[in-house]
Amino acid sequence: MRRTLLLVYAQPEPSSLTRSFAAAAVETLTAQGHQVLQSDLYAMRWKAVLDADDFPARADPARLSFIDESGHAYANGAQTPDVAEEQRKLLAADAVIFLFPLWWYGIPAILKGWFERVYAYGFGYGYQNQGNRLRYGDGALKGKRALLAAMVGGGERDYGPRGINGPLQELLFPVTHGCLFYPGMDVLPTHAVYGVNQLSREQIADQLHAWRKRLAGLFDETPIPFRRQNGGDYPDGHQLAGHIAPDMEGIWAHLAAPSSPTPRPAMTEAAAQ
């Protein structure tokens, strides 16, 4: 089945692993018969900062409310062309792959700013003027797949369950859950490569091979089982119902089944002593 994929990547150096992964994705997916759209953020000189210049036709010239102006620009076709174009690409895509080096335990600023600018009110949030009702599993990007491909400088054990940096899944939860699942996408487990600056030529070839294999099965994978806001687990739209994972708190409570060996039960007072 012919599908459309969008690659969003954030690394300017042609010889970087990020760009090698992007090139391999273009090649592999095209060879599979898919259509591949690309957003090469550095080459596009993507404007990273959300500011007043994003709203040339202001609803309120006296006071800059990002929510109000974003909603106004989106609803009135008054967005900047770069933002509108990225929204068109997202809507055209069946799956979106984000490739980036992990910098300071998160996505690079240029990619963070892509979310901030492209996710207009009415599009990325506030969908259908329903406030917070159509989010986390519902939204403008519902049914599309999303995948993070993170190139990590540090070693894998530093990101393990007891690694000093914290587990990568927890560090990236604000992106997987907060940026991708939020507007409705089905998020696949993050594809991480560790120790990227120490890889031998052979190890790089192995990593690229594993990446191509993963891409081949992208539409057959099981997404991270994040709980849908409107699936019954959050009756008030804000908090987990008492009977849902009653002993758990925090990030892992929002997964319907443990996809990791480290789900997190809440500590009872007795256990905390």
Site for a second copy in 141-170 (CB under 8 A): 153-155, 157-158, 160-167, 170
Closest separation between CB of residue 215 and a second copy, Å? 26
Q: Is 56 in the site for a second copy (CB under 8 A)?
A: no
Q: Which of 106, 122, 189, 225 binds a second copy (CB under 8 A)?
A: 106
Q: Which stretch binds a second copy (CB under 8 A): 71-79, 186-194, 216-224, 254-262?
A: 254-262
Q: Is 238 in the site for a second copy (CB under 8 A)?
A: yes
Q: Which stretch binds a second copy (CB under 8 A): 32-40, 70-78, 92-100, 101-109?
A: 101-109
Q: Residue 224 region, left (φ>0) first, then alpha (ψ -120 to 50), else beta? A: beta
Pick 76 or 197: Cβ nearer a second copy: 197
Pick 103 or 219: Cβ nearer a second copy: 103
Q: What are phi and psi of 167, to 5 degrees?
A: -65, 140
Give residues with Cβ within 8 angstroms of 223, minimum separation 6. 145, 186, 187, 188
| Cα distance between residue 25 and residue 185, in whole Å | 20
Closest separation between CB of residue 250 and a second copy, Å? 6
Helix (H) or strand (E) holding 37: strand 35-40
| Cα distance between residue 219 and residue 34, in whole Å | 12
Helix (H) or strand (E) holding 84: helix 81-92
Q: Is 237 in the site for a second copy (CB under 8 A)?
A: yes
In 3D space, the residue among 17, 54, 12, 61 whose CA is nearest the CA of residue 152 turns out to be 17
Q: Is 272 in the site for a second copy (CB under 8 A)?
A: yes
Q: Which of 122, 195, 225, 263 binds a second copy (CB under 8 A)?
A: 263
Q: Is 51 in the site for a second copy (CB under 8 A)?
A: yes
CB 191 within 8 A of CB 214: yes
SS3 of residue 216 by DSSP: helix
Pick 163 or 214: Cβ nearer a second copy: 163
Q: Is 195 in the site for a second copy (CB under 8 A)?
A: no
